[in-house]
Amino acid sequence: MDPKLSQIFERFKAAFVRNDFDTSTRLLSQLKVLMTVFKSLPPLFQETSNAIHELTIARDIYEHAVVLSVKMEDQDAFERDFFQLKPYYTDASGRLPPSPQEYPILGLNLLRLLVQNRIAEFHTELELLSQSALDNPCIKHAVELEQSFMEGAYHRVLSARQTVPDATYAYFMDLLAKTVRDEIAGCSEKAYDCLSISDARQMLLFSSDQELLQYAKEEHPEWEIKDGFIIFQKVKDSVPCREIPSLQLITQTLSYARELERIV
């Protein structure tokens, strides 16, 4: 093994641990250049004297690269690095011992596809997995999320944030939570002239009024907060807030949702 590559990899891992993204990115680029001389790596897979060791090191580097992209919240980098890593989990799987990072990273990729609403690709990836992989908690977590999301069981989607199988999942879970809330907010704007802050908090699945108000400020500055109500932009200047029928419907909806939760 190239001693220069080993030395740079150790420096990269140190920078990775301390979240020094500039150094990590720079060293990762150097590692990728150094690995281009290894003919044992994809797509050649030549049988060299150091093939197994080189494949193992390269897999480790790309696994770190994928997790680094999550730390940096860079979905494009995630997709590129996962694409480079995937052959080590498929084509080289029979030559290498299993990696403890394989299922967490495969689950991360499924979660990314779900966040990006690439549902067809999500199911294509699932079809490529073995039954033992499908039984892994990291994969099951993503599958259950997709089912809950498609069913509109948004409470289950958001509560899954508290039971992630790996800390690296937090970034994509936060993005998914935002997607869920944006969907509910869009429907609420169409359905109601206004909502009380209390009912809006319940509908948007926030744990406090302050979280709701912060969300409204950052994501929907066109909403007007007045006298304990959220007044939507499309009606606030022309139509009085007709809160009573809406609130009755909200109460019925929330009650129905609670009944469904108990049944499930």
The answer to whether the CB of 35 falls within 8 A of the CB of 5 is yes
Mean pLDDT value across residues 92-99: 94
Report pLDDT for 1: 65
Q: Percent of the chain scored above 90 by pLDDT?
A: 71
CA distance 51 to 165: 32
pLDDT digits (tens, 9 = 90+) for 151-170: 888 888 888 888 899 999 99
Report pLDDT for 72: 98
pLDDT digits (tens, 9 = 90+) for 119-128: 999 999 999 9
Report pLDDT for 259: 57
Report pLDDT for 240: 53
Please provide the average confidence, as pLDDT, over all residues in the chain: 89
At residue 101's C-alpha, the angle toward residues 98 and 107, to 5°, is 115
Instruction: Report whether pLDDT(221) > 70.
Output: yes
Mean pLDDT value across residues 210-216: 95
Q: Which CATH class is domain 3-174?
A: mainly alpha
Q: How confident is the model at residue 245 (pLDDT cuts 50, 70, 90)?
A: very low
Instruction: Report whether pLDDT(256) > 90.
Output: no
Closest CA to 78 of 56, 54, 107, 99: 107
Report pLDDT for 254: 59
Closest CA to 157 of 173, 169, 134: 173
Instruction: Report whether pLDDT(230) > 70.
Output: yes
User: For residue 196, what is the DSSP state?
Assistant: E
Which residues have C-beta within 8 Å of that of residue 214, sequence separation ≥ 6? none
CB atoms within 10 A of CB 254: 13
Q: How confident is the model at residue 252 (pLDDT cuts 50, 70, 90)?
A: low
Instruction: Report whether pLDDT(176) > 80.
Output: yes
The answer to whether the CB of 170 falls within 8 A of the CB of 164 is yes
Tokens of 172: 């994509």
Tokens of 90: 């498929």
User: What are the φ/ψ torsions at residue 10 (nearest 5 degrees)?
Assistant: -65, -40
Which residues have C-beta within 8 Å of that of residue 244, sequence separation ≥ 6? none
CA distance 23 to 116: 29
Instruction: Report whether pLDDT(129) > 70.
Output: yes
The residue ranges of every structural domain in the chain are 3-174, 192-263
